[in-house]
Structure 1
């Protein structure tokens, strides 16, 4: 799913009105009606007090359309106008007149000076937030801030239209108290980037996209900087196997890493590379790991370094398809020197994780030696070491894009919504859960990305696909283990089921199934 920028959304609205020969007021009516339909399907006429707070721009106009339909369908509605400016949009004014024609009481006009204690909102009520939309370009004033805090303190269920008011689409907020904390957000045509970033996702517990009929050609043809990755997006990436295929068709992964006490990281990465479909896997480890690897993973071949406890001289006579390097590697002086020497002569595609990234962050000239489209898989602290600090998530993304462009590498920012960055393009993953916050989870992912590259996936496709499968495997594992007991090995065990799930059809509702029978 594409995530459209604020400017692209405005352009889509404009083209839709032109190509469908409708007015902007008609498009607003369509949007507000969709929100009403969503609420009406769930409330079925329930007489819960509904407080609709509208700004004086187009987001407020959407709220007025909703309020009018709620009134005409007999709901218990109180509508407020947050009137802090004299700059009212044309479509807001049209819908202001329309709601006055059907309402017994005009919307309550709030001049942003009133005593907020006079507005009574119960904990069992519903608040609809239609104060500000995506066009907000400055923090709300103090009175509006106090209004938003009143929403929060009330404990009422809060539904935001398009985006929680006070939240920006393209930058961080200055004051978190000046943002609506929504229980649910109905976002027009596509979700917003802020819904997926650590610093701003807190402002909506859940979100859902409402289709308001934006021109299909525009949606299909417009390239966006951000894409949301789910099953629909990864299924076309899948490479089926032919009947007469053999292991040589699916590449040879080398996992290069390990040190005394950290051979388990190599174990996990090599097992996940095999379970992802690599034809052959060889590990390059210090001598101390030889017996444990041969015993624990009999499918994997082992080459040992001359040193007992750490990698000190990278030297092998095989030709792997891809090398996953860094898991459990350590950062001893010997290891750093041999890693630098290895990079100077290496031409094989790389996936670099953990201590491989830490070595690069301390020796940044080595970044110039990386093959094109090398995949780096840092968690946030490792990312900070390699690109420097940032003030907010939006600045972080800009710095990662610049880093990716400069070195022509793919950067996977691991997190609740892992983000794959390839120059100016970002891919946000939708699978995964908090149970993945466990030792070794990243090692598994390194092996999976390496395993997919070995099979002929491009580094970008392999990263996007592996991140999806990694999260999906963990989601499937929850059924058996829950969040607390999930460990990295469980993720590997479910990779096969994650592949199978790609081709499962969604279950039909029981009512529909019974009707067909």
Structure 2
């Protein structure tokens, strides 16, 4: 699913008006009616008090249309106009008059803190104050209104965007934004829904199709793409019945040091379970017996050193190599990695301590093959690109690194991002159960296993991250997040593959909803 900039959304609106020969008022009616339909299908006439807070622009106009439909269907509604300024948009004024004709109650005007209504935790708040066009922080008294919403503990539904949240920068204060329980986003999700700095304002979200011009949406170059099942299913490679283990590639996992052989075991097993035909490991001598015992399906080569890798010698070709898990950063290991990288043209996945080596020995990065996949966790990423001011700055710096060296960077975390040059892909799967020891080693193994099977590097990164997260999501149906281990995630890869071909249950819900199966 595409994620577009606010400028592209504005353009989509204008093209829709022109091509469909409708007015902006008619498009507003269509959009807000979809919000009403969403609410009505869930409330079904329930005797709850709905408080609709409207700004004086087009987002407020949406709120006025919604209020009118709610009134016409017998709901208990109080509408408020948050008097941000004395200038009203034309569509706001049109729908203000329409609401007045439909309701015996005039919208209540809020001009200062003393006008704030008492809000019960049992009420529903509809936030239709500011939309995507916000350019500066709300006035202090409006920020206090947002805080009033939050203190009330009432369920808060935002139309298109939580008010006070920008599409393209981080808010100055968390008190200057509505903390929304549910956001109904028009046509496409917004990038800020997925960033660590701003996702807290969007507890759950759903896309509402408001009928914007489909040709424009199809042709638009997205600022990011949200990756769900429909996006990864075309990647899947069907196994031919005459295939053999050589058909599905040979993986080499390089890593391990004294006390950290388990990382190699996890990555190797994940590579096998993801579909690689053969897996070989290169480890220090201390891990030989443990690894051969734990994983009889793999082959093991060892360094001359007992406790760490000091000289990587592999004489056979491999289809993909994963390097760094449990590796350690001994000076001899750094020298061994430098020598190894200088001779490599095999597709690589670089993780953990191998990334730390790239950070502390900058010359190493020039030796890695193009389209190598880096999989840093946040601290490893910071060592690699330096500190960032905010999430937008982080993405900018990762793009710069990716373009300079032609690399794929996987920014691990909730809504993991995969970046290649200016392309950003945001994963839809995963949950807090992945915040466990060895989870990153498993991801390295999955991606390396996919690479070995002939998936393109970008496909391997996107598909691998998706399967990793989907495994955890399916596990969470029967396990508490706290109980999921990295080994469980490997066990769940089979179910993640199978789920690709499971048809979703018929529902009124959008296919894309943060926190639900996608």
1:243 corresponding residue in structure 2: 241
Q: Against the structure 1 CA distance between its residues 245 and 217, is the aligned structure 2 distance closer, same or farther, given a 3 Å change threshold?
A: same
- 1:480 shift after superposition: 4.2
In the alignment, structure 1 residue 262 sits paired with structure 2 residue 257: no
1:514 corresponding residue in structure 2: none
Equivalent residues in 2 for 1:117-132, closer than 5 Å: 117=116, 119-132=117-130
Q: Structure 1 residues 178-187 or 71-80, which shifts more?
A: 71-80
* Deviation string, structure 1 residues 262-313 (Cα, Å, up to 9, x no partner): 1110000000001011111110001111111111111111111111110000
2:286 corresponding residue in structure 1: 288
1:221 corresponding residue in structure 2: 219
Contact 2:113–2:144 (CA under 8 A) maintained in structure 1 = no
| Aligned counterparts of 1:479 and 1:222: Cα–Cα separation in 2 | 37
Contact 1:51–1:128 (CA under 8 A) maintained in structure 2 = yes
Contact 1:116–1:147 (CA under 8 A) maintained in structure 2 = no
**1:80 match: secondary structure:** strand
2:196 corresponding residue in structure 1: 198
**1:264 match: secondary structure:** helix
| Aligned counterparts of 1:186 and 1:507: Cα–Cα separation in 2 | 21
Q: Structure 1 residues 98-107 or 165-174, which shifts more?
A: 98-107
2:428 corresponding residue in structure 1: 430
- 1:138 shift after superposition: 0.6
1:115 corresponding residue in structure 2: 114
| Aligned counterparts of 2:226 and 2:99: Cα–Cα separation in 1 | 37
1:501 pairs, out of 486, 499, 502, with: 499
* Deviation string, structure 1 residues 468-502 (Cα, Å, up to 9, x no partner): 10111112222443211111111111111111111
Contact 1:31–1:212 (CA under 8 A) maintained in structure 2 = yes
| Aligned counterparts of 1:226 and 1:216: Cα–Cα separation in 2 | 18
2:133 pairs, out of 123, 127, 135, with: 135
| Aligned counterparts of 2:319 and 2:209: Cα–Cα separation in 1 | 44
2:78 corresponding residue in structure 1: 78
- 1:62 shift after superposition: 0.5
| Aligned counterparts of 1:435 and 1:178: Cα–Cα separation in 2 | 31
| Aligned counterparts of 1:200 and 1:67: Cα–Cα separation in 2 | 28
* Contiguous gaps of at least 5 residues in structure 2: 508-518
Q: Against the structure 1 CA distance between its residues 481 and 33, is the aligned structure 2 distance closer, same or farther, given a 3 Å change threshold?
A: closer
**2:28 match: secondary structure:** helix
Q: Structure 1 residues 127-136 or 187-196, which shifts more?
A: 187-196
2:510 corresponding residue in structure 1: none
1:19 corresponding residue in structure 2: 19
Equivalent residues in 2 for 1:33-432, closer than 5 Å: 33-111=33-111, 113-117=112-116, 119-432=117-430
Contact 2:275–2:450 (CA under 8 A) maintained in structure 1 = yes
| Aligned counterparts of 2:270 and 2:261: Cα–Cα separation in 1 | 15
* Deviation string, structure 1 residues 334-386 (Cα, Å, up to 9, x no partner): 00111111111211111000000011010112111111100000010100000
**1:140 match: secondary structure:** coil
Q: Against the structure 1 CA distance between its residues 32 and 479, is the aligned structure 2 distance closer, same or farther, given a 3 Å change threshold?
A: closer
| Aligned counterparts of 1:485 and 1:109: Cα–Cα separation in 2 | 51
| Aligned counterparts of 2:458 and 2:399: Cα–Cα separation in 1 | 14
| Aligned counterparts of 1:294 and 1:500: Cα–Cα separation in 2 | 29
- 1:56 shift after superposition: 0.9
- 1:172 shift after superposition: 0.5
1:10 corresponding residue in structure 2: 10
Q: Against the structure 1 CA distance between its residues 74 and 480, is the aligned structure 2 distance closer, same or farther, given a 3 Å change threshold?
A: closer
**1:351 match: secondary structure:** strand
**2:203 match: secondary structure:** strand
1:487 corresponding residue in structure 2: 485
**1:449 match: secondary structure:** helix
| Aligned counterparts of 1:234 and 1:25: Cα–Cα separation in 2 | 38
* Contiguous gaps of at least 5 residues in structure 1: 510-517
| Aligned counterparts of 1:272 and 1:43: Cα–Cα separation in 2 | 45
* Deviation string, structure 1 residues 388-434 (Cα, Å, up to 9, x no partner): 00121111111111111111100000001111011111111111111
2:511 corresponding residue in structure 1: none
Q: Structure 1 residues 80-89 or 389-398, which shifts more?
A: 80-89
RMSD of aligned Cα (Å): 1.1
- 1:197 shift after superposition: 1.3
